[in-house]
Structure 1
């Protein structure tokens, strides 16, 4: 059984003039700071919160920030049982999860049935996540919501941010990157690519953006550095796995010798936006939110 961490559980307060209470929120917490941002924002909205923390995935600070229950990824039975015992009604998936193979998950009986249900519905990465959402809602009775429903201010807006702007070569690389990532998205492969002087240094697959940036840094060519382009997949399930960037992404872009980031406006979460813009300024990087429905604004 998982161990528990409890620190000052707060009960939900009236959510509106009708005197009703906001539904209790369950957070399936991956890594990084995003789950903690959700905890703070939900409480500010008068919502009680309960966290499912996963060994080897969730940061200890997240579990310490709210009433929580530690478990393993393969122990779906006890996680779902605990969520029901805590009277959780809505679920949000937040933070990256490193996905081990099924052989390493050590599935319990409930998890095995859960995976079987998902397997009948899933194909590809986005298909898998969409099937997880559908199974949690249709078979388990929870309502799954997106991070942006609580932290809407994290969504990137269109425009140029900070002091630096892309030159003609960088703009050409952005356009090339959009073509590549759109093709990847149609195949449900990944959300990002690194382009330098028209050359594709790398595309994102299951390894994630941080690993992509490390590989791209090793393949960097002489001359002007490349760009990271990151957008949502066509038809993506927007309640889970929206493209996300933060300070770690900025450091990865800098270390890879790139010149900037181009990310999709309205569909990308930027964690700690002010700090991200400041870090880009200090590193000499441009940061641009792309409005894919029209020509990107250039400030």
Structure 2
């Protein structure tokens, strides 16, 4: 459920996927309204249909900030997938260039970069909100989301996966790994979860398939980058020959949970929300 309307429309910096549109609809239904910053090559055009918005290319932060202020947006949400660009692809404007000159573009991992972006936007006078504050019903619950239940061998792989992802997260590398019989078939880096699953398919061993474990990073900036899964994640996991998916309860967004659980059941995969600190 959405919080009561704040001051002015909610500013939404929209990446890819369906989550930005879902947030726009929540704002519309609450009577608050939204102003969307849509990013060329990332935002689905359907996200901004019938909504006040501005299209920008990556790196046009001055234009985006000016439009948000003109719209009266004081609170911002960063939502949706955005592929990290190279500096050549970015073509930064003056404000963006100053930001990267200050923080060092290559010195930060993804979470460090997102944390710096959040601080920079706060310095511009905006209040950053997490998408889970508006879409709390999308957060994964603890326990099995479908009918398939992990056995003890799967739980061993899940516990091994937690160890691996926690070590990766401490280095600000990625949020996911695939484990089979205790072996690390792959870890997520800049390519994302879908590409991780595609890489791991040919690496699977004989016997029960591997397990995808997806968690938030230690100290992760929740307002910028919560782990997210959807029906496509289940389809990719099934295509890779996996036996199940474990995500962090209370810290992972499940887009359309009933459809995701149904897809997992059809594929014969388990889908389980875990408390990583105690698993």
TM-score, normalised to structure 2, is: 0.94
Task: Indicate conservation of the 8 Å contact 1:245/1:268, yes or no.
Answer: yes
Structure 2 equivalent of residue 115 of structure 1: 100
Corresponding residue number in structure 2 for 1:188:
172
Cα shift at 1:170 = 1.1
Question: Given that residues 7 and 73 in structure 2 are in contact (C-alpha distance below 8 angstroms), is that contact kept between their aligned partners in structure 1?
Answer: no
Equivalent positions of 1:237-276 (< 5 A) are: 237-276=221-260
Conserved 8 A contact 1:39-1:65: no
- Aligned match of 1:41: 26
Partner Cα separation in structure 1 for residue 39 and residue 77 of structure 2? 14
Distance 1:151 1:169, change over 3 A: same
Q: In the superposition, relative to structure 1, how do residues 123 and 99 fare at CA in structure 2: closer, same or farther (>3 Å)?
A: closer
Encode CA deviations 1:138-174: one digit per residue, 9 max, x unaligned.
2x11111000111111111111121101122211111
Structure 1 match to 2:114: 129
What is the aligned length?
Answer: 276
Which residue number in structure 1 is paired with residue 134 of structure 2?
150
The CA deviation at 1:80 is 1.1
Cα distance in 2, alignment partners of residues 41 and 278 from structure 1: 24
Gap regions ≥5 residues in structure 1:
1-14
Q: C-alpha separation between the residues in 2 aligned to 1:276 and 1:154?
A: 11
Shifted more, 150-159 versus 286-295: the winner is 286-295
Name which one, 1 or 2, has greater alpha-carbon Rg: 1
Partners in 2 of 1:86 and 1:117 — Cα distance? Answer: 28
Kindly provide the CA deviation profile for residues 194-249 of structure 1, in whole angstroms up to 9, marking residues without a partner as x: 01111111001111111111111121122110000011111111111111111111
Tell me the equivalent position of 1:176: 160
Partner of 1:78: 63
2:82 to 91, 97, 102: 97
Alignment match, 2:215: 231
Assess if the C-alpha contact under 8 Å between 1:76 and 1:108 holds in 2. Answer: yes
Find out whether 1:28 has 2:36 as its counterpart. no
Distance 1:190 1:173 in 2: 18
Taking structure 1 as the reference length, the TM-score comes to 0.88
Aligned to 1:162: 146
State the 1:119 CA deviation.
3.2
Whether contact under 8 Å (1:41, 1:150) holds in the other structure is yes
Name the structure 2 match of 1:3.
Answer: none
Deviates more, 1:185-194 or 1:103-112: 103-112
Q: Aligned in 2, Cα 1:282/1:168: closer, same or farther, shift over 3 Å?
A: same
- 3-state DSSP class of the match of 1:130? helix
Assess if the C-alpha contact under 8 Å between 2:7 and 2:74 holds in 1: no
Partner residue in 2 for 1:6: none
Runs of 4+ deviating beyond 3 Å? 117-120
